Amino acid sequence: MAAVDVSTSAAENPGITPPNAHRASARTASYPAETPAAASPATATTTVTVRYFAAARAASGIDEEPVTVPAPATVDTVLRAATSAHGAELERVLTRCSYLHNEVAVHDRGEAMADGDQLDILPPFAGG
């Protein structure tokens, strides 16, 4: 069997189909152009469920709500968003509150929060 130079075009070798010719059509198929991430940056956000108890519930007027903030989220950014939505009375109440992040006591308002986390706002229930 004679060797055939497959690097030449089909016109130069009539009747010979180069290996993998069937793949050429797949490579040239029209697919939607990929958009580079930099061309359309999505703003990353974090949504946290905030639950209000006692005086915090009275100040906000609701039991719980989803609060969405830009990522990366912290306890502080979520609390600022809640204060922005509900006003000065909630801000005043928050100065005396304790917080639970996914049922664990918060000791640092800079603590990171992830999408789907829960933040409980617990005012003092008795005493002072």
* Cis status, amide bond into 14, omega within 30 of 0: no
| Residue 100 three-state SS | strand
Average of per-residue pLDDT values in the chain: 82
Residues 1-14, mean pLDDT to the nearest whole number: 53
| Span of 37-51, 95-109, 111-125 with lowest mean pLDDT | 37-51
* Residue boundaries of the structural domains of the chain: 45-122
Give domain 45-122's CATH superfamily: Beta-grasp domain (3.10.20.30)
Q: Does position 33 have pLDDT exceeding 80, yes or no?
A: no
**Token pair 């010979």 in the structure block, residue:** 16
